[in-house]
Structure 1
Amino acid sequence: MSKPEFVVELGFIEQAPAWKLRSKFFPSKVGGYPAWLALKDLPTTEELFCRRCKNPLVFLCQLYAPFHHKEECFHRTVFVFVCRDPDCCQDNDASNIRVFRCQLPRNNDYYPPEPAKEVEADSHTPGAEDFNNLCKVCGALGLKMCGGCKVARYCSKTHQAFDWKAGHKTECKDPGSVGQKSTVSKFLFPEFEVELEPEEVEAGREKSEAEVMREYEELLRSGRPSHQDEDDEDTENDLVNMASKETDKQFQKFRTRIKDYPDQVVRYDRGHDPLWVSSQNKPTDIPPCPHCNQPRQFEFQVMPQLLVHLKVDNTGRSIDWGTVLVYSCPDSCQTSRPYVEEVAFKQDYSPISSVMRNN
């Protein structure tokens, strides 16, 4: 009997009530506040700063991804954070993105061994706010306190100023009205649940080189004007000739692979190869795990379709990516801290692919 083919899991955006996306239900989610797994010893303020501008990152997404063969990874979640400043978003550069994994055994300090019933009552507890002061704006550690009301907490002066303009200027006069979360936080991304489903084998079938090139040429020609002059025909021929380059074939493979599931926002394929958007700018020097020195492996990727849901456009300036790849320790090794930083790699479209993407 042949060995069954590994099934890639695809993540799709779903609407869900906010209470279902809290820590005790171990969600996979996009946007809002992070649903921290370990509720103490959260990433430090400095760890959640952008490497480029040194301002706080915003929570992008998290995937619940336990390792069923390891007791210490009975619960395991990977968190992705990104800088909202478009100027920090550079081609094929992940300096504005940071990734952390966290894991817990079945018997731990926060959650019972059996899953909690999915009911709204008491869904807020246990939560990281039970053990920490959290930033009202982003949900990270809030070590700074408002000097006026002595209640509101922030991770940085940047978020304190943001919340002051967003409404704290008024509520600060009445400390009893100050909540743990900002009532108006345009800093956060819209919140959704991520549902993971297996990719159908037929949808993942590899195309032959001839099929890829034929589909790519048809794609290029599909955008031509109905009435062409010689210049139009020359332009089209140039595009078809460019399609013979490996980078263009790689992009067409990407398009072909996702066309049956165009709404996928995440692909989880731990230990295998990513779905590249270009043959250029592939990683060659992913650093090994600093704790066990094993080579990190690819775990999952964030797809460009997620950008549609984030509402990040700002008069032509926006954060962007072709795909964000997450590399992690293959053994998810245990360390003295519950949150361990892993590696993000950002791959963007090649120039011809960018042209086609905008058509």
Structure 2
Amino acid sequence: MASESAGPAELGFVEAAPSWRLRSEQFPSKVGGRPAWLSAAGLPGPPELACPLCGRPMAFLLQVYAPLPGRADAFHRCLFLFCCRTPPCCCGLRVFRNQLPRQNDFYSYEPPSEDPPSETGESVYLHLKSGAHLCRVCGCSGPKRCSRCHKAHYCSKEHQSLDWRLGHKQACAQTDNLDNIVPDHNFLFPEFEIVIETEDEIMPEVVERDDESEIIGTMGEAHEEELESMAKHESKEDRIFRKFKTKISLEPEQILRYGRGIAPLWISGENTPKEKDIPDCPCGAKRLFEFQVMPQLLNYLKADRLGRSVDWGVLAIFTCAESCKLGIGYTEEFVWKQDITDAA
């Protein structure tokens, strides 16, 4: 996905994909499962991946591969979004950015092969080239380890306890095969690839015509004066929500809109950020809009089982305008959550 966007947005759609296509060496954009970390060093630790509201480990929601053309230090660049599944938090959020030059310690200089590898098993990769270990439950940094087998690693006592109850108690002695016997902990979101298409532009006059058609449709045989009166008294909130619906009408299944530096597409006139609400990057640069997650994604997350634990109208991600390079690690960026309940 090209990361400089002066024109229309790029749209993301979910699609089933074989597991090998979603591994780190393929530089995927994807939803759910475990993170396909970019740099194998400097991963955010358990404190950084704890919910800012309740402190519990967050779940990986999605990642977007978004290199910067013309930036040698960001030849590979990826954004990782995490959310809390605890109901009272209603989607506590954190997002991290990581970037690498083409010549790096983890990946080939040449593009990855489009052909499946000879070994395409379903083993879970819980060790990185840097030597870092990953949590068996969530796939994030796992500094804790099982005191019996010393092979299983975890991000937290909570995830260690969960894994113990769901099978590690029996598998603990089988230390040579732990990666092949990771149980379903019912913690990860369903996994999909995100495929990208460029949005077809809807002409402004089409938006206006759709607006008028909707007003007329609601009024039936109303007189012209009544229609004019309704248009005059239509609230800003109504107009914003109608624009949102019209904009996505050509591609209603879109789960993501990407466009570095373009304007977000808000679902509501309420709870939209002002410039002062978007904190500057620690490097001193302003942050600009890069992409947004659409409410349609909830349809793919088994949201009926999630209740109020995960819900949103728009998740807007703002990143450093300079895409600064702060060491080899992962830099936290900013998420603005606009609730769907704010919409008309």
Give the structure 2 partner of residue 66 of structure 1: 67
Moved more, 295-304 or 308-317: 308-317
Residue 148 of structure 1, CA deviation: 2.5
Among 112, 115, 122, the residue aligned to 1:116: 112
Give the structure 1 partner of residue 94 of structure 2: 98
1:242–1:248 CA contact under 8 A, matched in 2: no
Give the structure 2 partner of residue 164 of structure 1: 164
Give the structure 2 partner of residue 227 of structure 1: none
Relative distance call for 1:315 and 1:134 in structure 2 (3 A) is closer
Q: Distance in 2 between matches of 1:114 and 1:175?
A: 35
Among 198, 218, 237, the residue aligned to 1:247: 237
Identity %: 44
Give the structure 2 partner of residue 282 of structure 1: 272
Q: What secondary structure sits across from 1:248 in the alignment?
A: helix
Q: Indicate the RMSD between aligned Cα atoms, in angstroms.
A: 2.7
2:13–2:194 CA contact under 8 A, matched in 1: yes
Residue 218 of structure 1, CA deviation: 5.9
Q: Distance in 1 between matches of 2:343 and 2:300?
A: 25
Residue 84 of structure 1, CA deviation: 0.9
Q: Distance in 1 between matches of 2:252 and 2:176?
A: 47
Give the structure 1 partner of residue 330 of structure 2: 339
Matched, 1:295 2:286: yes
Give the structure 2 partner of residue 17 of structure 1: 18
Relative distance call for 1:21 and 1:220 in structure 2 (3 A) is farther
Give the structure 2 partner of residue 81 of structure 1: 82
Residue 176 of structure 1, CA deviation: 3.6
1:25–1:116 CA contact under 8 A, matched in 2: yes
Residue 133 of structure 1, CA deviation: 1.1
1:167–1:184 CA contact under 8 A, matched in 2: no
- 5 Å matches for 1:128-139? 129-130=128-129, 131-139=131-139
Among 88, 92, 103, the residue aligned to 1:107: 103
Q: Distance in 1 between matches of 2:217 and 2:139?
A: 44
2:126–2:136 CA contact under 8 A, matched in 1: no
Give the structure 2 partner of residue 214 of structure 1: 212
Relative distance call for 1:122 and 1:269 in structure 2 (3 A) is same
Give the letter aligned to residue 39 of structure 1: A
Residue 221 of structure 1, CA deviation: 7.0
Relative distance call for 1:122 and 1:341 in structure 2 (3 A) is farther
Q: Deviations over 1:201-226 (max 9, x none)?
A: 2xx3335785354344367679xxxx
Q: How many residues matched?
A: 326
Relative distance call for 1:309 and 1:156 in structure 2 (3 A) is same
Give the structure 2 partner of residue 321 of structure 1: 312
Give the structure 2 partner of residue 349 of structure 1: 340
1:324–1:347 CA contact under 8 A, matched in 2: yes
1:67–1:74 CA contact under 8 A, matched in 2: yes
Relative distance call for 1:194 and 1:351 in structure 2 (3 A) is closer
Q: What secondary structure sits across from 2:289 in the alignment?
A: strand
Relative distance call for 1:158 and 1:210 in structure 2 (3 A) is same
TM-score, with structure 1 as normaliser: 0.84
5+ long unaligned stretches in structure 2 = 221-226
Moved more, 305-314 or 57-66: 305-314
Q: Distance in 2 between matches of 1:103 and 1:18?
A: 23
Q: Deviations over 1:101-143 (max 9, x none)?
A: 1000111111121112132236799985232111000111111
Q: Deviations over 1:271-318 (max 9, x none)?
A: 010001011111121001111x12100000000000000113337434
Q: What secondary structure sits across from 1:317 in the alignment?
A: helix
Give the letter aligned to residue 300 of structure 1: F
Q: Distance in 1 between matches of 2:6 and 2:62?
A: 28
Relative distance call for 1:49 and 1:309 in structure 2 (3 A) is same
Give the structure 2 partner of residue 39 of structure 1: 40
Q: What secondary structure sits across from 1:255 in the alignment?
A: helix
Matched, 1:205 2:206: no
Residue 242 of structure 1, CA deviation: 11
5+ long unaligned stretches in structure 1 = 91-95, 223-236, 354-359
Give the letter aligned to residue 195 of structure 2: E
TM-score, with structure 2 as normaliser: 0.87
2:148–2:172 CA contact under 8 A, matched in 1: yes
Residue 85 of structure 1, CA deviation: 1.3
